[in-house]
A and B are shown apart, each in its own frame.
Chain A
């Protein structure tokens, strides 16, 4: 069993130090009188089991967790339920914000009601992508980024210094990526803004950039082994040695590393993109007060952040969370200063234009 495994089954388990995770401040005691429930849609293990148990005990509010596994499905689900959703809290990936907000599926966050807002690293909570129309729309909890993952036993470190080697003939038939994610990186590789915010006023330039990236990927189609969609696939490909390099999110790769598989990850010199998972409150949610109670409680301490990192492999946005991680976990979730310097965040402003161009390009690449 690995250190990353969170024990979901508590029947025989002992009460861990999790009891200390929740102090019992006034806002929780007040909620106890209300009782009721809060409905949460999130990814597997994003609500730590210890936290859930203690929260329910402290407040009497039942947490109903519904598991989602991707953003598109979550959007579809919520769209099908609007304007009367059954959910209170959702987990939106930062760059999907606009899509949800434009469809009026989210309620703006009243940060005054969240006394623990300060637990989060302002790099995430106060960054420019998180404030839209003057409001905050979500509390960032976990951060991920696209990395160049490689099999340490088969790929020498000098080959991962740049994204260019990823497309070289040396690794023909040994690479895998998600086309959509790769498009942003290719644009970055060629020196353009992968978020396309710079070209908001110049649609022609945007179109030509996307076309250039698309043609590049079509030209390099013979090099790739597989276009994949989910983290589980790329993990399996590494384990099965079907690939030696991949463009992947750091979460799944970190999980591989924690399991002892000889895989490494890096952000090459051209840079990469990152995103942030946030907890958001649904527009016209059935239990808004309980939602705020839940949010404030989960932001309470860095230990909760560390628990989320342990389970998912993504980096916690909480200040000081890495103090609670083991060395292996820390290694699997940290990057050098140089690497971080090259990291950019996904921005949502130009998404409509960007994906309007990128999605057809993806189809074209698949069909080529």
Chain B
């Protein structure tokens, strides 16, 4: 590729990264402010907020709770989403448009509507508000995103590979397991990260379907009533660092796995 194009693209990329990170840096810095509110100027600094996060059992508990919900709901979403993607990728069949529409339904509905709809529906199904209900709602809400991402990837799978596998005597299930699935790995990883994000950050569904244990966004929203404080910023920073660490660990181990399999 052209040298200039590469430099230009590189600039756009890093400008984008700067745009993404500036609010983060502000958030981290504000966690050190010795005040009840965030904003400039910062007249005095303190470590109390950050240290306080690790002292606060409620916050730590909430954090673990949120992660647990995110992981479980992601596993469910990816399973269902991949199955749906495979289905929808098949050649034109009667009702494909309808299935597509049904699939994407949860993504269309504005958050608060979705949350209330799930709440009412949960009562119908007899699901009690609490962890299970939140996992259920998150899983369903995230399915469309997984499906779309997997479909995008699936559509580029060369038919020749599938034909070759068939010629070699593989049945569809075997073909799926050994060719399609490995090919989908980037989409699956991307979809999973998507879902983890959506679930961890979700507020409305967690609020309406939760029991007495809040998820992290619900807790923060309640704390917000007393104003956006450095304390909240400190909690969010710690949450970010821990989830980022998890993400990096996941990436490292997946890279190791890939290398082992080569």
Q: Is A–B contact present in the complex under a CB 8 A cutoff?
A: yes
A interface residues, Cβ below 8 angstroms from B: 1-2, 4-5, 8-9, 11-12, 39, 43-45, 64-69, 73, 76-77, 80, 86, 230-232, 235-236, 239-240, 252, 255-256, 258-261, 311-312
How many Å from the CB of B11 to the closest CB on chain A? Answer: 30
Q: What is the bound-complex CA distance between A189 and B156, given in angstroms?
A: 66
Q: Are A312 and B129 in contact (CB under 8 A)?
A: no
Residue-wise, chain B 159-200 has the 8 Å CB interface mask toward A (1 for contact) of: 000000000000000000000000000000000000000000
How many Å from the CB of A298 to the closest CB on chain B? Answer: 19
Q: Is B55 located at the chain interface by the 8 A CB criterion?
A: yes
Question: Of residues 49 to 104 in B, which have CB atoms within 8 Å of A's CB atoms?
Answer: 52, 55-58
**Minimum CB distance partner of A237 in chain B:** B39
Chain A residues with CB below 8 A from B116, complex form: 76, 80
**Minimum CB distance partner of A235 in chain B:** B227
Q: Are A80 and B39 in contact (CB under 8 A)?
A: no
Q: A11-B55, A235-B227, A255-B226 are in contact. Are A80 and B120 (CB under 8 A)?
A: yes
Residue of B38, B39, B208, B211 contacting most chain A CB atoms (<10 Å): B39
B interface residues, Cβ below 8 angstroms from A: 34-40, 46, 48, 52, 55-58, 116, 119-120, 123, 129, 207-208, 211-212, 214, 218-219, 221-228
Q: Are B224 and A232 in contact (CB under 8 A)?
A: yes
Q: Are A43 and B35 in contact (CB under 8 A)?
A: no
Q: Are B212 and A69 in contact (CB under 8 A)?
A: no
- State the majority secondary structure of interface residues on B: helix
Q: What is the bound-complex CA distance between A77 and B123, given in angstroms?
A: 12
Q: Are A239 and B37 in contact (CB under 8 A)?
A: yes
Q: Are B34 and A232 in contact (CB under 8 A)?
A: no
**Minimum CB distance partner of A241 in chain B:** B39
Chain A residues with CB below 8 A from B46, complex form: 1
Q: Are A12 and B55 in contact (CB under 8 A)?
A: yes
Q: What is the bound-complex CA distance between A4 and B227, given in angstroms?
A: 12
Q: Are B37 and A11 in contact (CB under 8 A)?
A: no
Q: Are A5 and B36 in contact (CB under 8 A)?
A: yes
- Could you list 30 A-B pairs, sorted by A, with CB under 8 Å? A1-B48, A2-B35, A8-B58, A9-B52, A9-B55, A9-B56, A12-B55, A44-B225, A45-B226, A66-B211, A69-B222, A69-B225, A76-B116, A80-B119, A80-B123, A80-B208, A232-B225, A232-B226, A232-B228, A235-B227, A236-B39, A236-B227, A236-B228, A239-B37, A239-B39, A256-B37, A259-B35, A259-B37, A260-B35, A311-B226
